[in-house]
Chain A
């Protein structure tokens, strides 16, 4: 039987930069509650830690990447003022978190090749918990303010994001026999890892599958434990060329594959042609091919996991199991860092670590590949991050330097 590629989306045409770039520094700034710090201050905390981790000096950073929708978190002037430096800084909004946490190395590689930068920080930071405490808007506003959603979804109560993903989860359960226990296995594995992680917001709140199943529904069939946290926090990742990376103190982590996939059904969750799949279908195979790996070679996987069902779908769509079989695949202890199976979100993910939209997922992979992680996977050589935002997905393959 020949596998037929689905027709509802496509892979982005990205340059293959496998083997050119490395991650040399990572820094997180995660806060247990409202930090009282704004996103810029949080970003600078994360960058300071990443620079120290890389063994660099602040004046050596000459590239700064942020997300397309929060590209004003940190200006070049604010960077120079904070660190008392004078260098030129190449700026880009092709980075940040979500899908861009995976694809940022491509623009960074171009800038480095063209001589515009040598050490590039990819950055993401939010102060959404402090905003919420202050009575302000959280991340839901990006959806509420979208005009078609405001007119044809919000009036009917199909808002905010937990409602989208409860509807998707219900359909996935009907199509594939997915059970509450399967969603629970995702939530419980994230929490298990978070309780061992010094930064994780839920480190003091263990969760068993029995406890999960006893929790009330928030948006049926999702419980609170299926949904991401809201937090203050951020992360910074320092990218440079593999050659330069080998002169720095920490072992380089090499970018071995980067790809992205798109749905052809537009940006609305309600209108996706394949309602229970993600564009990882188009992205992951390309990134794995660049890296010369298959899903079976992956030692640690971190997935952008705003909801448990998003992780479950990506595990299927990236080929870790057949479509519809993620339930059996994730059951029991199979996602734990120290059991046979697939080590998954070993820092706790968006569900249990912090809601920093994927930047900490990449930093966690780097620590795993260096052997520095709190929940260290034995003999960890290949790490994969899956990014997602509705009509887009992305895949980043990282490996230890050879």
Chain B
């Protein structure tokens, strides 16, 4: 695929996009020490184990921080300004910071630690053919488990 769309056939990350197409959020996890490995790596950064499998996660998390982009800085984002992009930590392991679009919200209502939930959207870009189904986040509508 053409940038800024992701590569769907990179073996290291392909399971992520395969799952997203089916509306599932998956994360790599080390089978030896159970640590989530984000970004994806061939080996676990903690125990150096090589057995890493992709597991479903709840899709719930908290807003770690965000930026509201009000000015076009990258031509393929034309037509999307303003938008919010930021980091969500996942309920399963707050050390995972997932970079994502923050959607379905008034930016004035966002706050750090706000409960968030995953939704799936098709990312498209001006001047780039095709699109990709991807996990993005919105403020949680269902109460978060504590």
Q: Which residue of A lies closest to B38 (CB)?
A: A271
Looking at the assembled complex, report how far the CB atom of B70 sits from the nearest CB atom of chain A, in whole angstroms: 5
- A224-B87 Cα distance, complex, nearest whole Å: 22
A167 near B86 with CB under 8 A, answer yes
Find residues 150-188 in chain A having any chain B CB closer than 8 Å to their own CB: 150-160, 162-163, 166-168, 170-171, 174
Contacts of B48 in A (CB 8 A): none
A193-221 vs B: 1/0 string, CB under 8 Å? 00000000000000000000000111111
A270 near B99 with CB under 8 A, answer yes
Looking at the assembled complex, report how far the CB atom of B16 sits from the nearest CB atom of chain A, in whole angstroms: 8
- A174-B123 Cα distance, complex, nearest whole Å: 30
Task: Report which of A155, A218, A270 forms a contact with B71, defined as CB distance below 8 A.
Answer: A218
B49-87 vs A: 1/0 string, CB under 8 Å? 000000000000000111111110110010010010111
A157 near B65 with CB under 8 A, answer no
A167 near B83 with CB under 8 A, answer no
Find residues 28-42 in chain B having any chain A CB closer than 8 Å to their own CB: 38-40
B71 near A154 with CB under 8 A, answer no
Contacts of A221 in B (CB 8 A): 67
A156 near B101 with CB under 8 A, answer yes
Contacts of B129 in A (CB 8 A): none
Q: Does B21 contact A (CB under 8 A)?
A: no
Q: Does B130 contact A (CB under 8 A)?
A: no
Contacts of A270 in B (CB 8 A): 87, 97, 99
Looking at the assembled complex, report how far the CB atom of A135 sits from the nearest CB atom of chain B, in whole angstroms: 10
- A271-B123 Cα distance, complex, nearest whole Å: 23
Q: Does B23 contact A (CB under 8 A)?
A: no
For chain A, the bracket of interface size reads 35 or more
Among B3, B7, B65, B134, chain A packs the most CB atoms within 10 A around the CB of B65
Among A153, A157, A167, A270, chain B packs the most CB atoms within 10 A around the CB of A157
Find residues 3-43 in chain B having any chain A CB closer than 8 Å to their own CB: 3-7, 10, 13, 38-40
B99 near A151 with CB under 8 A, answer no
B74 near A160 with CB under 8 A, answer yes
B39 near A155 with CB under 8 A, answer no
B67 near A151 with CB under 8 A, answer no
Nearest 6 Cβ contacts at the A-B interface: A166-B67, A171-B65, A220-B68, A157-B85, A151-B6, A218-B71
Instruction: Report which A residues bind B (CB closer than 8 A).
Output: 140, 144, 147-148, 150-160, 162-163, 166-168, 170-171, 174, 216-222, 224, 268, 270-271, 275
Known: A150-B7, A156-B85, A217-B70. 15 other contacts (CB 8 A): A148-B39, A151-B13, A155-B6, A155-B132, A157-B69, A157-B83, A157-B101, A159-B4, A167-B67, A171-B65, A217-B68, A219-B69, A219-B70, A220-B67, A270-B97
